[in-house]
Amino acid sequence: MLKQLLKPEIEELLRDQDFRGLREAVEEWDPSEVAAFIEDLSDNDDVIFFRVLPRDQAADVFVHLPQHKQEALVDALANNQDRLTQILNKVAPDERTAFLEELPGEVAQRFLDMLDPKERETAVKLLGYPDESIGRLMTTDYVAIQSEWTIEHALAHIRNFGKNSETINVIYVVDDHSRLVDDLQIRELIITEPEKTVRTIMDERFLALNAMDDQETAIQMFRQYDRVALPVVDSKGILLGIVTVDDVLDVADEEATEDFQKFGSMQDTVLNPLKAGIIFLFRKRIGWLFALVLVNVISGAVIANFENTIEQMVSLVFFLPLLIDSGGNAGSQSATLMVRALATGKVQMKDWLKLIGKEVFIAVLLGTTMAVGVAAIAGFRAPQVLPVVAATMVLIVVWGSIAGLSLPFIFTRMGVDPAAASAPLITTICDISGVLLYFTVATWYLGI
């Protein structure tokens, strides 16, 4: 609301080219608020607004902008290389890596050449890690001390170098070869006598991430241990950087969005459908939908195979949508629970058999309850086929639940994202199997 109220005043300052007033108007704003404001400005005004910001504030605001806006501003600033170089050198290494890895190779290289030698070395190192690895997520802005230092020496070191650190809540202790040996809360150093050594307050118990591990490992570690930052080491235990909770929250949000859209049979993640093009959205959705249409042709073939049964008992068709939808809904529920549980690490592959037994029992209860409900509500339409409907309801719900629970495990075993066991896929499987079960039971029971 405040942003909308101030927008006319900001636009007036831009028109009047009152750049000093513009700086003063937003100097106390949070970087995320300034970034949100820039997104709402016209293409020309957003560049002018961004260029007016002080260098430090511009760097902080830049990391809060979406990728497309970052690229647009960089293109606009291309003729002012000094300004662009200042911003790129000021941006935190992990945020800069996230920006550079989305650019075409030749463009990324041009920006790398603008960096100071030390920043360029850091950027190249981070970009050298595999996609979606913790190495791409970490920042090299941290404070490390050594165990033989006195507390006084350690605090002096923190005062000198802590201003450039991502966080100083946790201080890392390394040996002479830069291997991580401990992590300490800053309060432990503050309350310890200055003449004591760092070693006197160490317990050499710490958690660390491996730079080559998948970013989901970091999400699970932060969730399990409730940390604000975790160190990142290589295979030899050498401290390479740190990952902070704000970076992990961004990744967790992206992973959740990706899983959610995969579960809806989207081929790829669409972060902002409002700004995505029509053709882009069409391409992302048509693949799965067209494949599912072809698979659903099998349902028609199954129904055609039971044409004689349907001719002799037309009332069977009345219950068909109800039954197959029930199986698909039960399967989607089970799949949703399992995809989430697997993603958060609360369920492991070894738990499949235990879960199957529980799911079958629950599904029988669900199917029986639903069968009774159908008999009470719609039984008057065709009482002669109610036993068929009731039995099939239980079978379909049990089968749908088993399929919904099992597919995420099967996909995980195959090395495929379990979110790919999408709701439409499960529904399609349950549709085909539901039709087959229904008419098979009907043919047998009615002696057709």
Per-residue pLDDT of 11-42, as tens digits, reads: 777 777 676 777 777 777 888 888 888 887 77
Choosing from 80, 97, 128, the residue where a domain stops is 128
Residue 164 predicted with pLDDT over 50: yes
Amino acid 266: pLDDT: 46
Partners of residue 133 on adjacent β-strands:
214
Helix 19-26 to helix 43-52 angle, to the nearest 10 degrees?
Answer: 80
Amino acid 187: pLDDT: 93
219-243 mean pLDDT = 87
* 138 in any annotated domain: no
CA distance 424 to 350: 26
H/E stretch holding 35 reads helix 31-40
* 270 in any annotated domain: no
CA distance 421 to 411: 7
CA distance 340 to 69: 32
Does residue 64 come out as left (phi exceeding 0), alpha (psi in the -120 to 50 range) or beta? alpha
317 and 418 assigned to the same domain: yes
* 137 in any annotated domain: no
Please classify residue 428 by burial: count the beta carbons closer than 10 Å to its beta carbon, then call 0-12 exposed, 13-18 middle and 19+ buried: buried
297 and 425 assigned to the same domain: yes
* 134 in any annotated domain: no
Contact indicator for 267, 162 with CB cutoff of 8 Å? no
Residue 61 predicted with pLDDT over 90: no
Length of the chain: 448
Of 427, 356, 367, 373, the C-alpha closest to 391 is: 367
Contact indicator for 263, 336 with CB cutoff of 8 Å? yes
Question: Which CATH number belongs to the domain containing residue 413 in this structure?
Answer: 1.10.357.20
Choosing from 96, 128, 160, the residue where a domain stops is 128
CA distance 151 to 163: 18
169 and 119 assigned to the same domain: no
Give per-residue pLDDT as tens, 383-423.
Answer: 788 888 889 999 999 998 998 888 888 888 887 766 665 66
Contact indicator for 393, 383 with CB cutoff of 8 Å? no
Please classify residue 350 by burial: count the beta carbons closer than 10 Å to its beta carbon, then call 0-12 exposed, 13-18 middle and 19+ buried: exposed
Of 368, 364, 358, the C-alpha closest to 338 is: 358
**From residue 180, how far is each of 138, 149, 225 by CA, in Å?**
15, 15, 19
302 and 394 assigned to the same domain: yes
326 and 388 assigned to the same domain: yes
Amino acid 421: pLDDT: 58
**From residue 426, how far is each of 264, 360, 403 by CA, in Å?**
11, 17, 7
Of 171, 178, 167, 141, the C-alpha closest to 153 is: 171
Mean pLDDT of the chain: 79
* 173 in any annotated domain: yes
Amino acid at 448: I
Residue 40 structural domain: 2-128
* 259 in any annotated domain: no
352 and 211 assigned to the same domain: no
124 and 151 assigned to the same domain: no
160 and 201 assigned to the same domain: yes
323 and 287 assigned to the same domain: yes
Choosing from 217, 236, 252, the residue where a domain stops is 252
Amino acid 52: pLDDT: 74
Give per-residue pLDDT as tens, 307-319.
Answer: 777 777 777 888 8
217 and 287 assigned to the same domain: no
Question: Which CATH number belongs to the domain containing residue 194 in this structure?
Answer: 3.10.580.10
Residues 88-126 as b or e (16 or more Cβ within 10 Å = b): bbbbbbbbbbbbbeebeeeebeebbebbeeebbebbebb
CA angle 319, 323, 325 (to 5 degrees): 120
207-229 mean pLDDT = 86
Amino acid at 73: L
Amino acid 281: pLDDT: 64
* 136 in any annotated domain: no
H/E stretch holding 308 reads helix 307-312
Structural domain count, the chain: 3
154 and 67 assigned to the same domain: no
Phi and psi torsions of 266, nearest 5°: -90, 135
121 and 224 assigned to the same domain: no
* 204 in any annotated domain: yes
Parallel, antiparallel or unpaired: strands 209-210 and 239-244: unpaired
Amino acid at 393: M
Of 122, 114, 50, 126, the C-alpha closest to 86 is: 114
